[in-house]
Amino acid sequence: MRRKSSAVNLFLLPLLHLISEVDSHEMTDQPTKQKLWGGRFTGKTDPLMHEFNLSLRYDRRMYAQDIRGSIAYAKALALRGILSQAEERKIVDGLTAVRKEWENGQFQIEPDDEDIHTANERRLSELIGSLGGKLHTGRSRNDQVATDMRLWLLDEVKEIEASLKALITVMVERADKEQDILMPGYTHLQRGQPIRWSHFLLSHAFSFQNDLQRLRQLIPRISVLPLGSGALAGNPFAVDREFLRRELGFESIAENSMWGVGDRDFIVEFMMWASLTMTHLSRIAEDLIIYSTAEFSFVTLSDAYSTGSSIMPQKKNPDSLELLRGKSGRIFGNLAGFIMTLKGLPSTYNKDLQEDKEPLFDTVDNISSCLRIAEGVIATLDAHKEKMEAALTMDILATDLADYLVRKGIPFRETHHISGRAVALAESRKCQLNDLTLEDYKTLNDKFSEDVHGVFDFEASVEKRNAIGGPSREMIARQINVLRKALAN
């Protein structure tokens, strides 16, 4: 029993300390200070509830967007005559000063600053007096936070787009320079047919190109202005929302105020995009992890993106790639968790939506880092031409052998079986396909002639695959051109 009591006391100690701190503040610092929303409340907030309700520790990163939105809204109020020009200037100057405090690391957070909106408004009122209270006229934190998040995400998407383009560019340029390297292409992790190393790189680059296209398609659905929607029923002072749209750089306006404050589909859609993009990062990471093993030795990662073992001195671990692979699960988890938050919500704003920020911020932070790490890994790894080409065995030209007979007029389904029998014969003799004699081949089919040994040329095999999408030099050049044009748009 004593053990149980001790455990309970240990659990309660942080909470008791928290209550003591909050009670002390309420008694000594600002005993009569009222929350922005506290007009109809007469009782004190439970200290634990006070902490539970706070979001400033993470939404403070939107300080600049919150101030941008407030400056635009002050101008819109002035256009309606709710603020005089002098009042507008004073508010704008005050907000500019608040932004500088954030930028310089001088902003002092108070215990009652619930979120970035209340923190900024509180500080504004400290700087310019009661005039600061006019800024919230006709505006709700509901349309304010929705505006901030869209502005913040639009800013981040620009950076993410640049990182994704840089990753694709590295892959394209590397593919252009290393077209001479041949390697096996794999299905089921079994050697299938010869390809170029460039073809492998570009196969992943096209996945990222689709990600780039999808990211750009998201922007119009993020770039929708909620400001002016009020709490849910619109703005009672007829603020010019078209002015607000232009001032803040949005592409369109939320046409329904209830939807404007309650919609978080743009966050879900971004996290869906991030989950798919991370899936693509995870897949190339897995390929390169395999290719970097001693068993393959196709590539060696730079020391800058590798780590060692705490016990095995010889190890060079591809931790950068493993983290890329691992973080794909984390980012998908953010998406899955937030969708579960959304699925049962009634209309408009509910406090559950405060749970949108941490998964979104975490997703943005991680995918931004992952794209830059992937770019660095691919830019600095060494590709080993001799190792890749040493892995090219004649059995991967079995399809070419079947195609040889197709050109002699035999249906492919028949030539497939003949080529398979040739493979079996070579295996039984423990030799390569090109070691079989013409007489051996004639026992399989009389269409074989002296030119059969011309099949066993890896470069020729690759060059024959010259249809759009193939690994021939001409098609590699075409793929590179397509990607460069896409990047230039």
Asked whether residue 112 falls in the same domain as residue 84, the answer is yes
Asked whether residue 286 falls in the same domain as residue 318, the answer is yes
| CB distance 331 to 271 below 8 Å | yes
Which two three-digit tokens encode residue 353? 């939506």
Per-residue pLDDT at 35: 56
Angle at 223 between CA 324 and CA 235, to 5 degrees: 135
Q: Which of 120, 137, 154 is the last residue of a domain?
A: 137
- Angle, helices 116-128 vs 63-79, to 10°: value is 60
Reported as a single tens digit per residue, the pLDDT across 445-458 is 999 999 999 999 99
Q: Which of 83, 104, 137 is the last residue of a domain?
A: 137
Instruction: Tell whether 316 is covered by a domain.
Output: yes
Q: Residue 310 is part of a domain; what is its CATH number? A: 1.20.200.10
Q: What is the dihedral of CA 223, 227, 231, 234, to 10 degrees?
A: -100
Per-residue pLDDT at 479: 98
Q: What whole-number distance in Å separates Cα of residue 464 and Cα of residue 395?
A: 17
Question: In the chain, how many domains are there?
Answer: 3
HEC-encoded secondary structure of the chain: CHHHHHHHHHHHHHHHHHHHHHHHHHHHCCCCCCCCCCCCCCCCCCHHHHHHHCCHHHHHHHHHHHHHHHHHHHHHHHHCCCCCHHHHHHHHHHHHHHHHHHHCCCCCCCCCCCCHHHHHHHHHHHHHHHHHHHHHCCCCHHHHHHHHHHHHHHHHHHHHHHHHHHHHHHHHHHHHHCCCCEEEEEECCEEEEEEEHHHHHHHHHHHHHHHHHHHHHHHHHHCEECCCCCCCCCCCCCCCHHHHHHHHCCCEECCCHHHHHHCCHHHHHHHHHHHHHHHHHHHHHHHHHHHCCCCCCCEECCHHHCECCCCCCCCCECHHHHHHHHHHHHHHHHHHHHHHHHCCCCCCCCHHHHHHHHHHHHHHHHHHHHHHHHHHHHHHCEECHHHHHHCCCHHHHHHHHHHHHHCCCCCHHHHHHHHHHHHHHHHHCCCCHHHCCHHHHHHHCCCCCHHHHHHCCHHHHHHHCCCCCCCCHHHHHHHHHHHHHHHHC
Identify the domain containing residue 440 by its residue range: 394-456
Low-confidence ranges of the chain (pLDDT < 70): 1-43, 45
Q: Identify the residue whose tokens are 């010869």.
A: 194
Asked whether residue 132 falls in the same domain as residue 176, the answer is no
Query: Is 53 exposed, middle or buried, given 0-12, 13-18 or 19+ CB atoms closer than 10 A?
Result: middle
Per-residue pLDDT at 241: 98
Per-residue pLDDT at 27: 33
Per-residue pLDDT at 43: 60
Asked whether residue 86 falls in the same domain as residue 209, the answer is no
Per-residue pLDDT at 55: 83
Asked whether residue 352 falls in the same domain as residue 330, the answer is yes
Within 10 angstroms of residue 128's Cβ, the number of other Cβ atoms is 20
Asked whether residue 264 falls in the same domain as residue 280, the answer is yes
Asked whether residue 105 falls in the same domain as residue 150, the answer is no
Asked whether residue 186 falls in the same domain as residue 216, the answer is yes
Instruction: Tell whether 64 is covered by a domain.
Output: yes
Q: Residue 120 is part of a domain; what is its CATH number? A: 1.10.275.10
| CB distance 328 to 319 below 8 Å | no
Instruction: Tell whether 468 is covered by a domain.
Output: no
Q: Which of 349, 372, 389 is the last residue of a domain?
A: 389
Asked whether residue 299 falls in the same domain as residue 371, the answer is yes
Q: Residue 405 is part of a domain; what is its CATH number? A: 1.10.40.30
Asked whether residue 310 falls in the same domain as residue 442, the answer is no
Asked whether residue 280 falls in the same domain as residue 411, the answer is no
Q: How far is CA 247 from CA 95, 97, 117, 179, 230, in A?
A: 16, 20, 19, 49, 18
R_g of the chain, CA atoms, integer Å: 32
* Beta-strand pair 182-187/190-196: antiparallel
Which residues are known catalytic residues? 188, 309
Collect all residues with Cβ–Cβ distance below 8 Å to 350 and sequence separation of at least 6: 262
